Structure 1
Amino acid sequence: MRTFELQGAVGIENLKLVERDVPKAGPGEVVVRLKAASLNYRDLATVKYMGGKLPMVPLSDGSGEIVEVGAGVTRVKVGDKVAPSFFPHWISGAPRPELLAALGGPYDGCASDYLKVSAEGVTIAPKNLSHEEIATLPCAALTAWRGLFVEGCLKAGDTVLVQGTGGVSIFALQFAKMAGARVIVTSSSDEKLERAKKLGADEFINYKKTPDWEKEARKLTGGRGVDHVIEVGGADTFPRSIMAVRLGGHVAVIGLLSGMSKDVNVAAIFSQNVKISGVTVGSRAHVEDMFRAIEQNDIHPVIDKRFPLEQFPEALRLMEGASHFGKIVLNIA
């Protein structure tokens, strides 16, 4: 089978397409014939900076069909259309350190023709989606879902501010509109804001033209502030998110695109009674809830670009340029 390995050292240039034997399912395991995979910023960071034990197979997100089940497996069967979990061993409940090992580092990921994984670490996919669409869900969609519904307790009539138009932010837009919320989108591109409007976004802020976007967000809410912020920017945007949110509002901290550390207005956090949640994807129970909602509401992920598996390095470079809108997908089969 074809497999991309990160070999020797970090860097996109160190990704090599190699041949490996097709894995065999052991007790409690399944083998999935992957049909598609998708990219997240985490995958780019892993390849460029983090590495780990090498060689390593990148990519946490994929979709495929089960072609083999090991002894004792009863919850899924050969032929099932599934998505592997980002954290294969986090089934439900609160996160614990021993559960937070992910595909694509430290475990081998989905940049391959086949994936062997615990049978507990896959979920039957929504029937309304293609493999390409399913492959976008395990990380970005679930992160948005947990940030809004699990940690944020989103309800109809709330106002949600989403930063940018990457995978997590577009899913947050789609889920928030599904729930009857009002959505404000920020971007440096008027073209991307126009595309967000077509997905149902209600208000728009170009942060290049309006650097103090937190003040504009308050203005758009009559001075009250937004109920939820999907915070993907990191160090540079987090202080502004605190100032954009209402008294008792919620900031879901998800990304670090602009860095990991900066001075924070602690007084604003406690005086505003801001609720801050760190969100690292989610459990299989969260996946199951999200998949039901996606199927019942016929939500379809937004895919910007598609590449064959062989062009995985080119797909990473597109992500590096941050010009995409929604998700970048690899066709495997």
Structure 2
Amino acid sequence: MLPTTTKQWVITDGETTTPKLHFDIEAKIPEVGDYDVLVQFHFAALNNRDVSISKGVYGRPVSSRFIPGCDASGAVVAVGPRVIRFKTGDRVASLFSPAWIGGPLTPGLSLTTIGGNVDGVMTQYGVFNENGLSMIPDSLSWEEGATLTCAGVTAWNALFGLKRVMPGDFVLTQGTGGVSLFAVQFALAAGAIVVATTSSPEKAEVLKNLGAHHVLNYNSDPEWGVAARKLTPDAIGFEHVIDVVGPKTMSQSLKAVAIGGVLSVIGGVGGGFGDASIQQPLMVEALFNFCTVRGVAVGSRVQFEEMTRAIEANGIKPVFDKKVFRLDEYEKALQYLAQGEHVGKVLIQISN
């Protein structure tokens, strides 16, 4: 017999600067429609987006009431009569934007994201249109499968969405968060030379163990962009720079990128937006550097499926933090993520 109720988190007043989080221990599960899939989630993973939404500072439109969270893995427990992509028992992950099947992002598609515009995954059971899910590789655990939706696809899109990273290319990454570690793994799998930056010797060891060729400490060398560039042949710079910090690092990222290179701007975990005290580069500096500066907003289902094939073919194992939270500890997990001491993805265990 199928379950009729679920424990879940709900955000109300989401469109305001003071959203409210509620934990509902007996929410009604929606009916499974003709093209819908009922999923029992096992693990979810957090993103900095979740922290921003919970604080009312996301900067993108969200609904007034919704279930938060966009990254999760789980098992299909029921399908609608017209579903053709899944069957009961399939191992699936959520997709960030269910309507974005392939091709470029459009304004309309940007308003279909789960855990913000529509209900997300911070629930024991969720009903999703079949287009909002994708299979996860058999080689991944439930924990590893939960990390793919946002961080994995974002890193994949950054490296392969506009200008594909090639063997021998130089790639520069920042930190040890989810996107950055995926970028290290994908770039190495493509045969690239990876230089990573981080803040501590302990995190440097994580990067070295993943295979990064060089690791720089940005705390001990404020001009890390210049130092990184010197590690490339004739100091020509990097074909790909993955910037996850934002205003505080953009100047150094531009000093590191090569002529013809791509600087992918992903989120802004360092804050500083609108802070006049931070010396931020002008847009015209992209012209002076003869590079492309590109904002990356996760990716499509096609890109998700490309990524999972690469993960399986290369034996890639996503990295998640050693501290795992329960579903009822969602607020504590958000606080832990915001502190920035984690390595890889921060997980929520939803089912036993």
Coarse TM-score class (shorter-chain normalised): over 0.9
Question: What displacement does 1:267 show?
Answer: 4.7
- 8 Å contact kept, 1:12–1:313: no
Distance 2:160 2:273 in 1: 25
Q: Find the counterpart in structure 2 of residue 74 from structure 1.
A: 84
Tell me the number of residue pairs that the alignment of Structure 1 and Structure 2 aligns: 333
Superimposed CA distance per residue, residues 17-36 of structure 1 (whole angstroms, 9 cap, x where no aligned partner): 11201222112111111111
- 8 Å contact kept, 2:12–2:19: no
1:102 is paired with a residue whose SS is coil
1:27 equivalent to 2:39? Answer: no
Give the one of 218, 229, 239 matched to 2:241: 229
- Runs of 4+ with >4 A deviation: 8-13
Segments of structure 2 that go 5 or more residues without pairing to the other structure are 1-5
- 8 Å contact kept, 2:29–2:127: no
Q: TM-score, normalised to structure 1's length?
A: 0.95
1:316 equivalent to 2:299? Answer: no
Task: Describe the shift of the 1:210–1:61 C-alpha distance in structure 2 as closer, same or farther (beyond 3 A).
Answer: same
Give the one of 163, 166, 172 matched to 1:155: 166
Distance 1:171 1:12 in 2: 33
Give the one of 255, 262, 271 matched to 1:250: 262
Superimposed CA distance per residue, residues 114-136 of structure 1 (whole angstroms, 9 cap, x where no aligned partner): 11111111111111001111110
Superimposed CA distance per residue, residues 24-73 of structure 1 (whole angstroms, 9 cap, x where no aligned partner): 21121111111110000111111112474333211011111111211311
Superimposed CA distance per residue, residues 63-118 of structure 1 (whole angstroms, 9 cap, x where no aligned partner): 11111211311121111111111001101111112222211011111110011111
Question: What displacement does 1:299 show?
Answer: 0.8
Superimposed CA distance per residue, residues 137-192 of structure 1 (whole angstroms, 9 cap, x where no aligned partner): 01000000010012231011111100111110000011111111111111121210
The one-letter amino acid paired with 1:323 is E
2:241 is paired with a residue whose SS is strand
2:298 is paired with a residue whose SS is coil
Q: Find the counterpart in structure 2 of residue 178 from structure 1.
A: 189
- 8 Å contact kept, 2:36–2:130: yes
- 8 Å contact kept, 1:62–1:83: yes
Segments of structure 1 that go 5 or more residues without pairing to the other structure are none
Distance 1:248 1:97 in 2: 27
Q: Find the counterpart in structure 1 of residue 298 from structure 2.
A: 281
1:196 equivalent to 2:204? Answer: no
Q: Find the counterpart in structure 1 of residue 3 from structure 2.
A: none
Question: What displacement does 1:13 show?
Answer: 9.4
1:15 equivalent to 2:21? Answer: yes
- 8 Å contact kept, 1:239–1:265: no
Give the one of 81, 85, 107 matched to 2:95: 85
1:58 equivalent to 2:68? Answer: yes
Superimposed CA distance per residue, residues 230-265 of structure 1 (whole angstroms, 9 cap, x where no aligned partner): 011111111221111111111111121233356424
The one-letter amino acid paired with 1:282 is G
1:3 equivalent to 2:8? Answer: yes
Q: Find the counterpart in structure 1 of residue 348 from structure 2.
A: 330
Q: Find the counterpart in structure 1 of residue 272 from structure 2.
A: 259
Distance 2:180 2:171 in 1: 11
The one-letter amino acid paired with 2:273 is M
Distance 2:116 2:98 in 1: 12
The one-letter amino acid paired with 1:90 is W
Q: TM-score, normalised to structure 2's length?
A: 0.90
- 8 Å contact kept, 1:56–1:105: yes
1:43 equivalent to 2:85? Answer: no
1:301 equivalent to 2:326? Answer: no
Distance 1:303 1:242 in 2: 29
Distance 1:44 1:266 in 2: 28
Task: Describe the shift of the 1:277–1:71 C-alpha distance in structure 2 as closer, same or farther (beyond 3 A).
Answer: same
Give the one of 124, 141, 145 matched to 1:113: 124
1:151 is paired with a residue whose SS is coil
- 8 Å contact kept, 1:243–1:268: no
Larger mean CA deviation between 108-117 and 269-278 belongs to 269-278
- 8 Å contact kept, 2:36–2:127: yes
- 8 Å contact kept, 2:97–2:132: yes
